[in-house]
A and B are shown apart, each in its own frame.
Chain A
Amino acid sequence: MRSKPKWLFPVLALLPVLGLYACLRIYPIAETLRLSLFKWNIISRRKPFVGLDNFVELMSDPLFLEAIFNTTIVAFGVLVITIPVGLALAALINGRQGLRRSGFYETSIFLPHVVSLVPAAMAWKWIFDARLGPLNALIGWFGIPAQAWLFDPALSLVCLIVLCSWQSIGYAVLIFLVGLKNVPEALYEAARLDGASALQAFRYVAIPLLRPVMLYVSVITLISSYNIYAQAFVLASDVQGAPGHLVRVLVLDMLENSFRNYRVGYAAAEAVVLLVIVLVLTGAQFRLFRDRSRA
């Protein structure tokens, strides 16, 4: 048994997984980069090389620019809501650990994250409904006139942000909770002995220690918000009898270009732009959080 080389087991064990990665991740990513340089309509045998033409066209494509704009607004909107609210909720729940009701808090806040998107979006679609929805009933009590939530281009963006935040807060709270539990109680005690209030202790003891967790949550939130699609699709689904305003997001525009306009190369170019945006933002987040933790 000793005679077997030491590297044999790890290499043999790893190979199948690496094979899966090569086929299911690395190859398609590389292929996307390649397709973005071609013009191709899925069914034709002709697939001419067009260089950077697709990218040049994207830069002046109003629908694509609208999609980037909308997606960015939604992604940052979700981020700005999710991180502080998630952190605050996690801190409050952390203070109630050990009580039976904390189970209810965790479950109710996390449940939206694991509910299928479509039922969730349907529920919200009804809430936002201009004529029958409870939201307009609610603001009616305060004397605010009914709003066409899903028809107005600006308001439908708000709706999308609310829906996506509702889904992502649960995950953020959970990860923050895990992070908070790992903050040694002794540190809080020390801060309290120095005369810090609970809020101050949280601000100066927990937050700095939570920075890596915050980085993780914000990277995940931003990546997943740049990928939204189902939510927009369902909120504005074009039911023949009563269509609503469609918030054009990147993935939706990509799918429309590849499967309705039959422009696979062009859609791949969009995918490459999405990839660059996500990479740049992830890099920026790393830099932001790392610099702060050094300071």
Chain B
Amino acid sequence: MDFIATSVGTFGYPTSPGKKRHAWLSAAGLLAVAVALPMLASPASAEKLTIWSGWPDLVPFYKRVGDQLKAKYPDLDISVEAIALREHEKRLALSLPSGAAGDVIEMEVEAARYLEAGLIPEPPASIVEFVKANYDMTRVKTATYEGKIYGVPLFQGQGALFYNTDTFAKAGLNSPPKTMADYTAYAQKLVQRDTSGAPTVSGWSLRLSGGGSGIAEKYWTILYNFGGTLLEEKGGKWRAAYANEAGRNALKQYLDNVVTYRTVSPEMKADAEAFELGQTAMFIRESWVIGDIAKKAPNLKYATAPLPKGTLMVPVDLYVPNKGPKSQIAWDFVQKANEPENLLWLLENTAWVPNRKGLDYSAVLGKIPQLGAFVNTPADHVFFTVPAISPASEILTRLAARLEKAFTDKSLAGNDAGIDAFLKSAAEESDKILAREDLLAKP
């Protein structure tokens, strides 16, 4: 450490005793404040039920359920801690193994890894009966491990088309697109451009960047509606299934819209924000957008329509991860949340679609017709899910990174061989990840 050497400082003066006492006093004062603050901040409470959610828009719902529960537990204090989904997933990964998680938690397909590791206790028999009696077993798959039910489904994310009816009318369109080919044709009619030809209102807002794995999930939805799928199961193992014609058609649709017809560009406002600002004519999203529009753009004229074949569905289930005296209250909370009256409130106020069978939606649909595309899907509409395997998110993230570059790659436009090569190499990467985790199915 020879780069800093000697010099005599100018501050080597001793202090007078009086001054010093003053310094000690202020230090002691600071310490006292430091000790007192946390005590002020956390009032002691015997019964505090903590709800961990990955959806900040659900806070009012959980608070409402908590208030109802106070009839049974008058001293109960409900704390709803909702943070962004990715952070929520991370806190689960960090706290479940150490038993530090909330009393009621939401989990999606990632529950599989915790169930497999034995980190989630089994619910009481009454809860299992409740689930068996009131839910379609296909919707309980993610909460089931080795034939046993561990959680209670609450709601699900599923996609549908949102379209701006004013913009549609202006373009002479009076019905939503029916086939995937329609989507591109519509986008060309709907796009609005400035004098240089650059789009100012996109015809169809595609997910072109951001959100990590979200890019791949959106691609998957389009891929599915072209008759393909991302991963296929064979005897409990999986394999990438998108390096084929459906995969090519799906990627081509992006390239057509971004590069060839320029109905959308990566730098434009996108997604719900663009739709609410009138800067896109249509886009595919989950039902929560209905609630968001009601809050931010209540005067927007829009309608919804189911996708041609099917949609990615993400079920959100509730679990009680901690054993102990509070678990009974926690399960009461879960059951309360799933009462029909509360689920209909959830649908009406947050636009999330409940999972429970036999709910009467007519009153809510009368108020919010746009929910129809989500709760009254055609009989042959398919709901598919992300497989409950641990490398799923890594596969999606890596594919997303490749897709983000491909969507704007001019050399791929109209170049089927190039697209096929791209998909082949991406699929090999997906398979490699599956193989690493010993989950790769034989071709």
A residues near B (Cβ < 8 Å) are 41-44, 62-63, 66, 130-131, 147-148, 151-152, 182, 211-212, 215-216, 236, 238, 240-246, 248, 256, 259-263, 286, 289
Contact = CB atoms under 8 A, between A and B. Distances in A.
Contact of B97 (A43, A131, A263, A289): A43
Contact of A43 (B119, B274, B394): B119
22 contacts: A42-B93, A43-B96, A43-B97, A43-B117, A44-B117, A66-B401, A211-B3, A215-B3, A238-B211, A240-B211, A240-B271, A241-B271, A242-B272, A242-B274, A244-B210, A245-B209, A245-B404, A248-B401, A260-B90, A260-B393, A261-B394, A262-B390
A152 B214 CA distance: 18
B273 interface: yes
B86 A260 contact: yes
B273 A241 contact: yes
Contacts of B117: 43-44
Contacts of A130: 267, 269
Contact of B210 (A42, A182, A236): A236
Nearest to B208: A151
Contacts of A182: 7
Contacts of B5: 212
B292 interface: yes
A158 to B, nearest CB: 14
Given A43-B113, A43-B119, A212-B4, A151 B209 contact: yes
A211 B402 CA distance: 44
A210 B210 CA distance: 44
B271 A242 contact: yes
Contact of B3 (A41, A212, A260): A212
B67 interface: no
Contacts of B267: 130, 147-148, 151-152
A62 B401 contact: yes
Those 10 A-B pairs whose CB atoms lie nearest each other, nearest first: A243-B210, A148-B267, A212-B3, A242-B273, A243-B211, A241-B272, A261-B394, A238-B211, A241-B273, A151-B267
B394 A244 contact: no
B193 interface: no
B59 to A, nearest CB: 15
B278 interface: no
Given A43-B113, A238-B210, A243 B390 contact: no
Contacts of B269: 130-131, 242
A131 B267 CA distance: 9
B3 A216 contact: yes
Contacts of A256: 397
Contacts of B93: 42-43, 259-260, 262
Given A212-B3, A212-B4, A216-B3, A260 B214 contact: no
Contacts of A148: 266-267
B293 to A, nearest CB: 11
Given A215-B3, A262-B390, 16 more contacts: A43-B97, A43-B114, A66-B401, A130-B267, A148-B267, A216-B4, A238-B86, A238-B214, A241-B292, A244-B209, A244-B210, A260-B86, A260-B93, A260-B397, A261-B393, A263-B394
B173 interface: no
A243 B119 contact: no
Nearest to B289: A241
B122 interface: no
A175 to B, nearest CB: 11
Given A63-B398, A259-B90, A260-B90, A238 B212 contact: yes
Contact of B212 (A43, A66, A246, A259): A246
A98 to B, nearest CB: 16
Nearest to A263: B394
Interface string B382-396: 000000001101100
Contacts of B274: 242
A285 to B, nearest CB: 10
B381 to A, nearest CB: 24
Interface in B202-216: 207, 209-212, 214
Nearest to A130: B267
A242 B90 contact: no
B113 A259 contact: no
Contacts of A262: 93, 113, 390
Interface string B105-122: 000000001100101000
A148 B208 CA distance: 13
A262 B94 CA distance: 10
Nearest to B277: A131
A55 to B, nearest CB: 15
A289 B3 contact: yes
A271 B343 CA distance: 46
B141 to A, nearest CB: 21
A260 B85 CA distance: 12
B123 to A, nearest CB: 21
Contacts of A42: 93, 97
Contacts of A236: 210
Nearest to A146: B267
Nearest to B7: A182
B255 interface: no
A159 B93 CA distance: 32
B89 interface: yes
A115 B250 CA distance: 46
A243 B114 CA distance: 29
A58 B147 CA distance: 38
A152 B269 CA distance: 13
A41 B401 contact: no
Contacts of B210: 236, 238, 242-246
B89 A260 contact: yes
Nearest to A182: B7
